[in-house]
A and B are shown apart, each in its own frame.
Chain A
Amino acid sequence: AQKVTQAQTEISVVEKEDVTLDCVYETRDTTYYLFWYKQPPSGELVFLIRRNSFDEQNEISGRYSWNFQKSTSSFNFTITASQVVDSAVYFCALGRRPNTGNQFYFGTGTSLTVIP
């Protein structure tokens, strides 16, 4: 069975602090895909990153970075020097291969509040 756990329900940080959002997944598939989405207060869902299970390289995009560790089944997301605009709900998701229905499994989300 597939499952994504985001244990942090809510996080508050002061602007310019660094913050890490945790994501732990469960799957027996050998090929799978991991995603992060941002949902700002306006409600839309914004794609942030896609990673396949064969690529464990960490990725950095501006103030955002992702740490993928298959050994611990984790795909954590770090925001460096947080800003008020980072306030949102962040969802981690697991995607299965197309021949299994291409289904996605979402975590329950982490609500991040950045205090000015």
Chain B
Amino acid sequence: NAGVTQTPKFRILKIGQSMTLQCTQDMNHNYMYWYRQDPGMGLKLIYYSVGAGITDKGEVPNGYNVSRSTTEDFPLRLELAAPSQTSVYFCASSYGKGQGTGELFFGEGSRLTV
């Protein structure tokens, strides 16, 4: 199983550019998340989704947008990149509802430098 797949793994952006981080999972998980991890820091939640068509803001949503048109895909869009968005981004998924709260399955991370 591929699990959670993120692309690209590395990207350098100029200030003001836009880009989309792709994330797809093949585990049929209803919950998906985007986190960022700044150097030497913990994980901060950017956006999450509880199912196709439903998204919600996390702790640090400013400067980002998401969509969830299918169960499998949860892309993160950065609009007008700023140096403060230099970070490592992790996509994750988990199961929920009747099975309780399962562990997060993480992608390998995407290192973004602005």
Interface residues of A (CB under 8 A from B): 32-33, 35, 37, 43-45, 47, 50, 52, 91, 93, 95-99, 101-104, 106-109
Contact = CB atoms under 8 A, between A and B. Distances in A.
B48 A101 contact: yes
A101 B100 contact: no
Given A106-B42, A109-B42, A97 B100 contact: yes
Contacts of B92: 45
Contact of B105 (A47, A93, A102, A106): A47
A93 B33 CA distance: 14
B32 to A, nearest CB: 10
B94 interface: yes
Interface in B34-57: 41-43, 45, 48, 50, 56
A8 to B, nearest CB: 13
A44 B108 contact: yes
Contacts of A43: 88, 108-109
Contact of B101 (A45, A47, A98): A98
Interface of B: 31, 33, 41-43, 45, 48, 50, 56, 88, 90, 92, 94, 96-97, 100-106, 108-109
Given A101-B48, A102-B31, A44 B96 contact: no
B45 A52 contact: no
Contacts of B104: 35, 37, 45, 47, 93, 104
Nearest to B106: A45
Interface centre among A43, A93, A102, A107 (most CB of B within 10 A): A102
Nearest to B98: A98
A101 B103 contact: no
B97 A98 contact: yes
A107 B101 contact: no
B109 A33 contact: no
Contacts of A37: 104
A108 B41 CA distance: 6
Contacts of B109: 43-45
Contact of A98 (B42, B45, B96): B96
A107 B45 CA distance: 12
Nearest to B99: A98
